[in-house]
Amino acid sequence: MNQDSSIAQIAAILREELSGLRAGDRLPSSRELVRRHGVSPVTVSRALGRLAAEGRVVTRPGSGAYVSQPPAPTSAALDLDWQTVALGDRVVDASGVTVLLTPPPDGVIPLTGGYLNPSLRPDRQLAAAAARAVRRPDAWALPPLAGLTELRRWFAAQAGGDVTGSDTLIVSGGQAALTHAFRALAAPGTPLLVETPTYPGALAAAKAAGLRATAVPMDRDGVLPDLLAEAFAVTGARVFYCQPTLHNPTGATLPRERREQVLAVARAAGAFVIEDDYARYLMPRAPAPMVSMDAHGTVVHVNSLTKILAPGLRLAAVIARGPAAHRLRASQLVESFVVARPLQETALEFVGSPAWTRHLSAVTADLTARRDALAAALTARLPEAELHLLPQGGLHLWVRLPPHVSEDAVVEEAGRQGVLVSPGRMYYPSEPPGPRLRVTHVAATHLAELTEGVRRLAAAYQAVTKTS
């Protein structure tokens, strides 16, 4: 039974049980439902999510799920079928992003996710920076339309080369930056070249913008320049999206020579390179970004503070030059005017304080220890999972399963065993070459939990391969 049918079955059983309960009654705990029905915690969580969406139950974190109050009677059911015709067939698929952002159920170890565990976040220092920020005289005034001048200069200095603050635009996080860039640089219906595999959030944003993602192969050093040139020639694309530093999910980092080759290929094709530099602060010594080597306005550079600081700090910079910069700024203004000034002031306070350098040092050291612990645990307990490479930093490891193993079955059984991993297929713009998993070390609370997560994953793998 696949996961969707399991969720539907558990939801149907719970609907029937609800008929014998009163408003306010508590449902059995998630752990009890897992035991009673022999399904994974993820299945139970999503079945309860369906019932909550239907208005049948309400969930209270740390307390459980309860029967909701019945809705007030209406004269007739609301008919919304007409919207299907009015909306047309352009679907915005957020399923991959939703999976990555959904917190794990109680008792489930997350070997997935993209943000620092709360134990690694500088919450107290951010709170102190926010307190200082809101005391500034103009904290609640309208900021400059492109962002605070000092913050733009700071991001420009991080990029290096001859980048200036006037080239920089402050936006509401890296995902918003990608959305703006895709819409500004490519017309709906045109191709967008991407590395394969690639970040699912970029694929979702590209699809929402009406673009056709076209895969360009990689090796352990990143995208292959000769195949990139061929893809530009065959498709006529004018935009290439990439993550040259600690690529998600593979962990590859482009060496300088290949960065120069990618720029030369894009320049020859008259195309833009969107450089998603999301992981710049997740390794001890990040290489110079491609934008610092760019003398022709080819690179549109994205740098975010969210990954290194906190998921609630939705703030990033987009660096671009020429007409592309004008179009990006217009996109930002039309969509949301500006980024909230208190958020910008808070970021500026934090990166200008000693807490910033201390935090960088502590996080990169911790991530190195977690990476090594995860790699060692996988080698010891799950040797059948081949590690693509040991990245220089970052949050993830990319592993290949034997060809005969069902990726979906391993992911489903892992959830049943109490550990979450990301299926590889969600990272491909087209058919994946085989079963893969992305395994994350940053979301676990500590190294012991990380090791236990791998033990559960290995148990799931053994259970699947014994029955296949």
Can you spell out the DSSP letters for 280-299? TTSSSSPPPPGGGG-SSS-E
pLDDT of amino acid 71: 63
Radius of gyration of the chain (CA): 24
Calculate the average pLDDT of the chain.
92
Domain boundary among 67, 84, 112: 67
In tens, the pLDDT along 267-324 reads 999 999 999 999 999 999 999 999 999 999 999 999 999 999 999 999 999 999 999 9
**95-104, 184-193, 326-335, 389-398, range with the lowest pLDDT:** 95-104
Residue 1 above 50 pLDDT?
A: no
Q: Enter the pTM of the model.
A: 0.82
Angle at 45 between CA 44 and CA 46, to 5 degrees: 95
Contact indicator for 30, 106 with CB cutoff of 8 Å:
yes
Alpha-carbon gap, residue 458 to 441, rounded angstroms: 16
Contact indicator for 269, 232 with CB cutoff of 8 Å:
yes
In tens, the pLDDT along 71-86 reads 655 556 678 878 877 8
Contacts of 382 (CB under 8 A, 6+ apart): 454, 457, 458, 461
Residue 416 lies in a domain: yes
Alpha-carbon gap, residue 40 to 85, rounded angstroms: 37
Domain count, the chain: 3
Residue 418 lies in a domain: yes
In tens, the pLDDT along 330-383 reads 999 988 899 999 999 999 999 999 999 999 999 999 999 999 999 999 999 999
Angle at 223 between CA 207 and CA 180, to 5 degrees: 35
Work out the average pLDDT over 44-50.
85
Residue 341 lies in a domain: yes
Residue 84 lies in a domain: no
Work out the average pLDDT over 418-431.
94
Work out the average pLDDT over 116-122.
94
**Which residue bears the tokens 């957020």?**
94
Domain that holds residue 450: 95-121+357-467
Q: Which two tokens stand for residue 275?
A: 């450089």
Residue 74 lies in a domain: no
Residue 127 lies in a domain: no
Instruction: Tell me the three state secondary structure of residue 154.
Output: helix
- Indicate if 348 and 368 belong to the same structural domain: no
CATH number of the domain where residue 434 is located: 3.90.1150.10
Q: Which of 446, 163, 115, 124 is nearest to 308 (CA)?
A: 115
Contact indicator for 196, 211 with CB cutoff of 8 Å:
no
Residue 56 lies in a domain: yes
In tens, the pLDDT along 234-275 reads 999 999 999 999 999 999 999 999 999 999 999 999 999 999
- Indicate if 456 and 327 belong to the same structural domain: no
Instruction: Determine the distance from the C-alpha atom of residue 239 to the mean position of all C-alpha atoms in its chain, rounded to a whole number.
Output: 21
Residue 159's alpha-carbon distances to 168, 233, 280, 361, in angstroms, are 10, 30, 10, 19
**56-70, 182-196, 408-422, range with the lowest pLDDT:** 56-70
What's the start-to-end Cα distance of the chain, in Å? 14
User: Hey, what's the torsion of the CAs at 311, 115, 304, 439, to 10 degrees?
Assistant: -150
pLDDT of amino acid 74: 56
**12-21, 188-197, 210-219, range with the lowest pLDDT:** 12-21
User: Hey, what's the torsion of the CAs at 121, 123, 124, 127, to 10 degrees?
Assistant: 150
CATH number of the domain where residue 199 is located: 3.40.640.10
